[in-house]
């Protein structure tokens, strides 16, 4: 079956712009979680959606938001981009909305903010 | 102090050696994941544990809930095992859950 699809794979933005990233989970999976990876901070949890509801949220400012659609596809949005938002953004899908969730990761979207 | 600590940060081994990567955490967790990340960024989930031990091929993961400690072992290591290995703990705080990651262990296996 198809894996987790993230689009776009690479993008370049300038400070102050906004960006929307998309994640299509494995068919039948209802949980999508998002992560930011930077060389300095490593991997950090952004938020998790299950059946269109945000279940959990990490410690990121309100400029980072997300949503999940009825077909389980999820988007995350970052507004008023800062240089420090340059990172690899990963999403993962799971069949359950709990910690006991085997995760399948997408290839990531690499964002560069100039 | 990070809630999830990994050691060592870097590990170099010769092909065939037995490898151990350690992960300790400071709070209660509902599950612990071991992940593998190759150059280029792709992450693969190796194991999800909440108790005991799991084995898949040459990889073994154990967890001791009382000691708040988990280990990932690789038997008969091979150059293709070279990657960054990351442990991540599912932590419950204030009624919500979040996945907290260790900083990763960069493993290099030389032929």
Q: What is the pLDDT of residues A95-111, one digit of tens each?
A: 876 666 789 999 999 99
Provide the pLDDT for residue B74. Answer: 98
Q: Helix or strand or coil: residue B106?
A: strand
pLDDT(B64) > 80: yes
DSSP A85: G
- As given in the structure block, the two tokens for residue B70 are 């988990």
What does the angle CA B42 – CA B105 – CA B90 come to, to the nearest 5 degrees?
75
Name the helix (H) or strand (E) containing A32.
strand A31-38
Q: At which residue do the structure tokens 């959606």 appear?
A: A49
Which of A87-101, B33-47, B48-62 is least confident?
A: A87-101
3-state secondary structure of A57: strand
User: Cβ of A11 under 8 Å from any chain B Cβ?
Assistant: no
- Check B44 against A56: CB less than 8 A apart: no
Q: How far apart are CA A27 and CA A2, in angstroms?
A: 7
Residue B62, C-beta contacts closer than 8 angstroms, at least 6 positions apart: B49, B52, B53, B70, B71, B73
Phi, psi of B18 (to 5 degrees): -90, 130
Q: What is the least distance, in Å, from the CA of A81 to any CA of chain B?
A: 22
Token output for A13: 């933005």
For residue A17 the two structure tokens come to: 């712009």
**A107/B contact by beta carbon, under 8 A:** yes
- Say how far apart CA B84 and CA B21 lie, in whole Å: 11
What's the pLDDT score for residue B94? 75
Place of tokens 């689009």: A7
Closest to B98 (Cβ–Cβ): which among A37, A45, A105?
A: A45
Tokens of A68: 């999940």
- Percentage of chain B lying above the pLDDT 70 cut: 99
B interface test, pick of A39, A49, A59, A99 with most B CB neighbours within 10 Å? A99
Mean pLDDT of B84-100: 88
Residue ranges in chain A whose pLDDT is less than 50: none
pLDDT band at B13 (very low <50, low <70, confident <90, very high): very high
């Amino acid at each position: 079956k198809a894996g987790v699809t993230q689009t776009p794979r690479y993008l370049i933005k300038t400070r102050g712009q906004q960006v929307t990233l998309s994640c299509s989970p494995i068919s039948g999976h209802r949980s999508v979680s998002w992560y930011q990876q930077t060389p300095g901070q490593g991997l950090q949890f952004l938020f998790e959606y299950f059946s269109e509801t945000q279940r959990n949220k990490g410690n990121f400012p309100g400029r980072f938001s997300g949503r999940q659609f009825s077909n389980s596809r999820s988007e995350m949005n970052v507004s008023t981009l800062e240089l420090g938002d340059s990172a690899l953004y990963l999403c993962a899908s799971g069949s359950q909305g709990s910690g006991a969730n085997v995760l399948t990761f997408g290839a990531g979207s690499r964002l560069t903010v100039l | 102090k990070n809630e999830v600590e990994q050691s060592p940060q870097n590990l170099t081994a010769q092909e065939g050696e037995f490898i151990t990567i350690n992960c300790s955490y400071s709070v209660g967790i509902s599950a612990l994941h071991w992940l593998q990340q190759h150059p280029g960024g792709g992450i693969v989930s190796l194991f999800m544990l909440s108790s005991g031990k799991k084995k898949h091929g040459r990889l073994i993961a154990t967890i001791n809930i009382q000691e708040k400690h988990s280990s990932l072992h690789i038997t008969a290591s091979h150059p293709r095992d070279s990657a960054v290995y990351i442990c991540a703990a599912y932590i419950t705080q204030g009624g919500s859950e979040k996945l907290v990651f260790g900083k990763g262990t960069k493993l290099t296996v030389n032929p």
